[in-house]
Amino acid sequence: MQQPPTFTHLLFENQDKGVWLATINRPDKLNALNPDVFKDLGELGAFLESKEHSIRCVVLTGAGAKAFAAGADIGPMAEMNSKLAEAFSRKAQEHLRTLEYCGVPVIAAVNGFAFGGGNEVAMACTLRYAADTAKFGQPEVKLGIIPGAGGHDRLIRLVGPGKARELILRPEIFWTAEQALAFGLVNGVFPAADLLTKVIEIAHEIATRPHLAITAAIDVMNEGQGGSPCEVMENEARRFGDLFNTVDAHEGLSAFLEKRQPSYIGA
């Protein structure tokens, strides 16, 4: 098994039983996102995709109590010309897509502000849970720019075009955690003091499931985005059939019929 890579601004800690905690660690900058942070997230995704590990679920949060990630680091961005800005956007999109498609569930524990790129990072995760004090926004147009790390597409898919357009085109709007839950942006809301404990509990629950089935389900849902219903169903049927070549599928079905707890081996 390979060891996790060494990250610049990401703490990566083992929470036992296949669950790891990743923390964006720039608390003095409210965990603002610069190229190194996006690179860390992409390298995390590539490592998880490699399958050279025993990690079954990752919880992603921000250091400190104020912010998950309060947007991109504006200082370096202010110095960019058009060519550099486009390259930055493409790299950020690439890194978040690697994280999104890594095959291992990544759960965002949004512990505070998730503005701009911070919200884009959260949306690239498999699931999102928020502290009751969290706030969400896409304030880029107030600065004369737009979301550039995949925000338009993911936001539309999660909350629908109407709400997505409102959040992006009215940059003074910030959604509370309860609004984000009502609009479909997050999956649940917990008291701030309990957030990390609750999300790690959810991660441990997911980690007990047969990970080949979990990975297949994530892949089918990710690959189905933007595809036709026929293409989605074709892929679903193929992956459904593939799982019947695994030991775990036969173990799960047999355990159900025999009324016992299954014992999965990841094969």
With tokens 């998880």, the residue in question is 48
CA distances from 219 to 66, 223, 239 (A): 33, 6, 9
Q: Can you read off the two tokens belonging to residue 211? A: 């990970």
Q: Does the annotation mark 251 as catalytic?
A: no
Kindly state the tokens that stand for 82.
């058009």
Kindly tell me the sign of the dihedral angle through the C-alpha atoms of 212, 214, 216, 218: negative
One of 52, 94, 120, 251 is an active-site residue; which one?
A: 120
3-state secondary structure of 112: coil
**How large is the C-alpha radius of gyration of the chain?**
19
Catalytic choice (49, 86, 100, 140): 140
**Residue 120 bears catalytic tag:** yes
* Amino acid in the structure at residue 87: A
Residue 264 corresponds to which tokens in the numbers above? 């999965």
Active-site amino acid positions: 120, 140
